[in-house]
Amino acid sequence: MELPSKYNPAEVESKWYQYWLQHNMFHSTPDEREPYTIVIPPPNVTGVLHMGHILNNTIQDILIRRARMLGKNACWVPGTDHASIATEAKIVEKLKNEGIKKTDIGREAFIEHAWEWTHKHGGIILEQLKKLGASCDWDRTCFTMDDVRSESVLKVFIDLFEKGLIYRGVRMINWDPKAQTALSDEEVIYKEVQSKLYYLRYKVQGEDRYATIATTRPETILGDTAVCINPKDESKAWLRGKKVLVPLIDRPVPIIEDEYVDIEFGTGCLKVTPAHDVNDYMLGEKYRLESIDIFNNDGTLNKHGAMYAGMDRFEVRSKIEKDLKAAGLLEKIEDYTNKVGYSERTDEAIEPKLSMQWFLKMSDLAKPALEAVEKDEIKLIPPKYKNTYRYWMENVKDWCISRQLWWGHRIPAYYLPEGGFVVASTPEEALEKANALRMKNVCPCGCSGLKPLKPEDLRQDEDCLDTWFSSWLWPISVFDGINEPDNKDINYYYPTNDLVTAPDILFFWVARMIISGFEYRKEACFKNVYLTGIVRDKLGRKMSKSLGNSPDPIELMDKYGADGVRMGMMLAAPAGNDVLFDEALCEQGRNFNNKIWNAYRLISGWKVDPKLDQPKASALAVEWFEARLGKTLAEMDDLFDKYRLSEAMMCVYKLFWDEFSSWFLEIIKPAYQQPIDSITHKAVFGFFEQLCLLLHPFMPFITEELWQHLEQREPGESLMLQQQRKPTAYNQVILDKFELVKAVVSGIRTIRLEKNLPVKTALALEIQGEHDASFDSLIVKMGNISSITQVSAKASDAASFLVNTTEYSLLLGALIDTEEERKKMNNELQYQEGFLQSILKKLNNPNFISRAPEAVIEAERKKMADAKNKIQAIKDSLDSLESNK
């Protein structure tokens, strides 16, 4: 059957993915083999595939497929995460378009909408991963809000609460007025913005003097409860003990003194708004100042905003500027650059706000997690992230885990009518605990008249938990290790081996997973964390919707094949560096597929003649390629150990293209329409199979297709289940000798090109100097050489080149251009003499002779001798040119 000259991936890829699925080949169950486990970084359940996912999942698939081929029981657990804020925002938006307000329909109906949305859009991204070839164990697909995971989250919450690690309290938190929820510190991104510094005049109470303060947020003056100066600032001494009036509303506030105030900055006079600034909050605590919250949850001003009540905070800023100016209380405005926090999810400016939230105490939990990374029990790749990790862990702050959202795990805290609360996994249990709690402090005889509570008397906390509070359990919860801590799966698959993720969630997710791993399994949750770069375009810009510089991965796969895209991605992806993605790389991937395809077309067309003897050249080539394969095997093993996947791929890329196709196949290729001997034929098919094995983790589809072509396979057989050869010793001597052959053939080709000699014209080769004739059959075939003769003097009509110290000459007869030859040789002579001089300089240096190690000196002496030999050889050649003039 004739194969097309161009490889068409579309049909092949879906065929084999179906085949793998049908035979359940991705599925893993515990057995006696060594496990190899990866848990997927769960993408947003309603998300779609982007280039970052391609990078991340290609790497995971390479690792998992390789592990499988190394005989391990490989298990890659897929799943998605509920992405509380992002998903809730989408649903709110959708409902808004239908004219429905979240608050009108209530919690239950809203959650129903959310589930509906999740079922409709959820899992699209997992289907897209299948197109990429991801060999996940789909039977194990998890969702952070499915029953097992939800139960795990609640269990952990209750456990940590009972250990006293979770507490509830009023703190200054990051408020997102758009999503209307609290955020953790990690979810705030500080951006530099051009803003203004307003100089405002506060009248001193009872005097006709003013204190001038500088602020970037004039709208917050309505929440001022003090003005602070530095006690060392003599120029402000006159303000001590006085009161000033907040502009426009003339509310008197005290002057306080604290060294926190920078005398040099602004006016050296700071307005204090404890409810809306983290630093002011600390001052407020210290001096027991009143705290006036002037904002509603949506960022508009409340009744404390006086005449601005109901207006948005940014509107108020421009309005109040005008009003202050009109009142003569605005001294000046300066341009000013400062950093403002924005919500990672909604990009809304964060409002620091005092609020009652749930927190997890981190400092003790962080200790084993820090130690594990410090001691390389968990390795970060590349290791530069260790520093970053250490710094965060050593300065870790308590984690605000409550979110004012509905889509997520509802906090299992239940409030009693008379105050206080209990934490319990079900309302029934909560009722029991609540009753026990209120009875504890009263006389057991019932004389207090307290009646037991009814279920409706308890009110469950309205808030839900941060999404990361469920994903931090992921490596445990996907194996149900929280609910069933001693089950077969968790005991077998945990700890997992490698985690592949982006460095921007090192703290959000990776660090917290490590923490929960130690808390709940007393063991690291993975051994290695491979941190990928961020995918950027070829100009180094982040891929974004607004720039429109992100290609659609699905279209890319349609265009270049999944194998081509996988390879394109890996070509650009050394570990730890940002990935500058260029579609041209996918083209390179596709071209490589085509190369593989055509190599197969070539060998598959050969007819075998069992009576034919194996040519000498073929026998040598087989012996050489066997060694060459062994070398690559060892190299790839080493590169995989170091997680240098791009280099490992390049290694096998060059093996296939340069060594196998350009050298091996060209040597053994029979003349047109001639048959091949059976020994060589068998060897080339064996090699091709080995190459498929090595290439498979990178390009699973084309390799499976060709492997199935190599011979008749049984149903259910697959390349992906074959075992990779273990690296063994290989013949280095033949590799070195073959490199010399290549150099000779290359030299012949260069002369042919220079002299315009067609490849078809056979040439006679003469050799002066050391030469191993056992490889001559290769030189004859690859250089189209008619005869090889060892001579003592170079012929006058020959063009020559040097390989090491041996001179190879092609007899050209009348075609020789003596003048040109002489010029070439003189250039070479000059170079060699210069080189010799540099070596002599070293050897004549007494310091070098006395201080350098013997081996180094010996090497220099060898170089000197070689250079001298070469110089002599060139001089001899020049002489022979002269004598034949």
Partner RNA sequence: GAUUCGUUAGCUCAGUUGGUUCAGAGCACUUGCUUGACAGGCAAGGGGUCGGUGGUUCAAGUCCACUACGAAUCACCA
Which 649-708 residues touch RNA, going by CB under 7 A?
Answer: 650, 654, 657-658, 661-662, 665-666, 669, 672
Q: Which is nearer to RNA, 268 or 495 (CB)?
A: 268
Strand partners, 267: none
* Sites for RNA among residues 368-387 (CB under 7 A): 384, 387
Q: Which is nearer to RNA, 217 or 438 (CB)?
A: 217
For 578, residues 6+ apart whose C-beta sits below 8 A from its C-beta are 533, 534, 535, 536, 540
The answer to whether the CB of 879 falls within 8 A of the CB of 775 is no
Find the Cα–Cα–Cα–Cα dihedral 586, 590, 592, 593, rounded to 10°: 140
* Residue 181 CA from chain centroid, whole number: 29
SS3 for 802?
A: strand
Strand partners, 80: 143
Q: Single out the segment in contact with RNA by CB under 7 A; choices: 17-25, 105-113, 271-279, 428-436.
A: 271-279
Angle among Cα 802, 808, 814 to the nearest 5 degrees reads: 120
Q: What is the spatial distance between Cα 110 and Cα 120, in angstroms, rounded to a whole number? A: 15
The answer to whether the CB of 580 falls within 8 A of the CB of 647 is no
* Sites for RNA among residues 395-434 (CB under 7 A): 395
Nearest distance, CB of residue 736 and RNA, angstroms: 11
Q: Name the amino acid, one letter, at 555.
A: E
Any contact of residue 869 with RNA (CB under 7 A)?
no
The answer to whether the CB of 460 falls within 8 A of the CB of 434 is no
Q: Which is nearer to RNA, 409 or 512 (CB)?
A: 512
Strand partners, 356: 170
* Sites for RNA among residues 489-518 (CB under 7 A): 503-504, 507
Any contact of residue 571 with RNA (CB under 7 A)?
yes
Q: What is the spatial distance between Cα 42 and Cα 467, in angstroms, rounded to a whole number? A: 11
Q: Which is nearer to RNA, 227 or 405 (CB)?
A: 227
Q: Single out the segment in contact with RNA by CB under 7 A; choices: 372-380, 449-457, 614-622, 739-747.
A: 739-747
Nearest distance, CB of residue 351 and RNA, angstroms: 14
User: What mask of x and - would describe binding to RNA in positions 88 to 127, judged by CB under 7 A?
Assistant: ----------------------------------------
Return the HEC string of 182-197.
EECHHHEEEEEEEEEE
Tokens 């080149």 correspond to what residue?
801
Q: Which is nearer to RNA, 424 or 629 (CB)?
A: 629
Of 853, 854, 883, 885, which one interacts with RNA (CB under 7 A)? 853
The CA-to-CA distance between both ends of the chain, in Å, stands at 61
Any contact of residue 314 with RNA (CB under 7 A)?
no
Backbone angles phi, psi at 459, to 5 degrees: -120, 120
Of 327, 815, 856, 865, which one interacts with RNA (CB under 7 A)? 856
Q: Single out the segment in contact with RNA by CB under 7 A; choices: 144-152, 175-183, 767-775, 857-865.
A: 857-865
Q: Which is nearer to RNA, 279 or 796 (CB)?
A: 279
Q: Single out the segment in contact with RNA by CB under 7 A; choices: 315-323, 390-398, 622-630, 874-882.
A: 390-398
Q: Kindly state the tokens that stand for 562.
A: 């999944």
User: What mask of x and - would describe binding to RNA in positions 515 to 554, judged by CB under 7 A?
Assistant: -----------------------x-x--------------
Any contact of residue 746 with RNA (CB under 7 A)?
yes
For 261, residues 6+ apart whose C-beta sits below 8 A from its C-beta are 228, 229, 230, 233, 268, 269, 270
Nearest distance, CB of residue 204 and RNA, angstroms: 19
Any contact of residue 866 with RNA (CB under 7 A)?
yes
Nearest distance, CB of residue 211 and RNA, angstroms: 13
Q: What is the spatial distance between Cα 314 and Cα 474, in angstroms, rounded to a whole number? A: 40
The answer to whether the CB of 554 falls within 8 A of the CB of 51 is no
Residues in the chain: 885
Q: Which is nearer to RNA, 674 or 790 (CB)?
A: 674
Nearest distance, CB of residue 508 and RNA, angstroms: 9
* Sites for RNA among residues 820-849 (CB under 7 A): 832, 835, 842, 845, 847-848
User: What mask of x and - would describe binding to RNA in positions 632 to 651, judged by CB under 7 A?
Assistant: ---------------x--x-
Q: Name the amino acid, one letter, at 261.
A: V
Q: Single out the segment in contact with RNA by CB under 7 A; choices: 47-55, 299-307, 570-578, 614-622.
A: 570-578
DSSP letter (8 states) at residue 540: S
Q: Single out the segment in contact with RNA by CB under 7 A; choices: 51-59, 247-255, 266-274, 478-486.
A: 266-274
Of 260, 415, 492, 685, which one interacts with RNA (CB under 7 A)? 260
Any contact of residue 5 with RNA (CB under 7 A)?
yes
Q: How far is CA 43 from CA 71, 562, 575, 695, 843, in A?
A: 29, 20, 21, 28, 63
The answer to whether the CB of 44 falls within 8 A of the CB of 88 is no
* Sites for RNA among residues 186-245 (CB under 7 A): 186, 190, 214-217
Q: Does the CA dihedral 641-647-650-651 come out positive or negative?
A: negative
Q: What is the spatial distance between Cα 39 and Cα 24, in angstroms, rounded to a whole number? A: 19
Applying CB under 7 A, the site for RNA has a residue count of 88
Any contact of residue 865 with RNA (CB under 7 A)?
no
Q: Which is nearer to RNA, 33 or 851 (CB)?
A: 851
Of 53, 345, 771, 870, which one interacts with RNA (CB under 7 A)? 870
Of 333, 602, 791, 815, which one interacts with RNA (CB under 7 A)? 602
Of 146, 159, 185, 558, which one interacts with RNA (CB under 7 A)? 185
Q: Name the amino acid, one letter, at 100.
A: I
Of 120, 322, 339, 713, which one interacts with RNA (CB under 7 A)? 339
Q: Which is nearer to RNA, 91 or 684 (CB)?
A: 684
Any contact of residue 392 with RNA (CB under 7 A)?
yes
Q: Which is nearer to RNA, 51 or 464 (CB)?
A: 51
Nearest distance, CB of residue 5 and RNA, angstroms: 4
Nearest distance, CB of residue 385 and RNA, angstroms: 8
- Contacts for 832-835 with beta carbons within 8 Å, 24 or more apart? 832/867, 832/870, 832/871, 832/874, 833/871, 835/867
Please, where are the H alpha helices in 380-464?
385-394, 427-440
Q: Which is nearer to RNA, 330 or 423 (CB)?
A: 330
Please, where are the H alpha helices in 25-83?
51-69
Say what angle helices 645-654 and 51-69 make with each other, to 10 degrees. 70
User: What mask of x and - would describe binding to RNA in positions 753 to 772, judged by CB under 7 A?
Assistant: x-------------------
DSSP β-ladder status, 464-465 and 496-501: unpaired
Return the HEC string of 475-492.
HHHCCCCCCCCCCHHHHH
Q: Which is nearer to RNA, 490 or 571 (CB)?
A: 571
SS3 for 164?
A: coil
Q: Which is nearer to RNA, 384 or 725 (CB)?
A: 384
Any contact of residue 558 with RNA (CB under 7 A)?
no
Of 346, 593, 800, 877, which one interacts with RNA (CB under 7 A)? 593
SS3 for 757?
A: coil
Nearest distance, CB of residue 586 and RNA, angstroms: 11
Of 47, 79, 266, 697, which one interacts with RNA (CB under 7 A)? 266
Q: What is the spatial distance between Cα 76 and Cα 65, in angstroms, rounded to a whole number? A: 10
Asked, as a colleague might, if the bond just before 352 is cis with ω within 30 of 0, I would say: no
Q: Which is nearer to RNA, 270 or 629 (CB)?
A: 270
For 317, residues 6+ apart whose C-beta sits below 8 A from its C-beta are 217, 218, 219
Q: Which is nearer to RNA, 266 or 408 (CB)?
A: 266
Of 460, 591, 614, 880, which one interacts with RNA (CB under 7 A)? 591
* Sites for RNA among residues 274-293 (CB under 7 A): 277-279
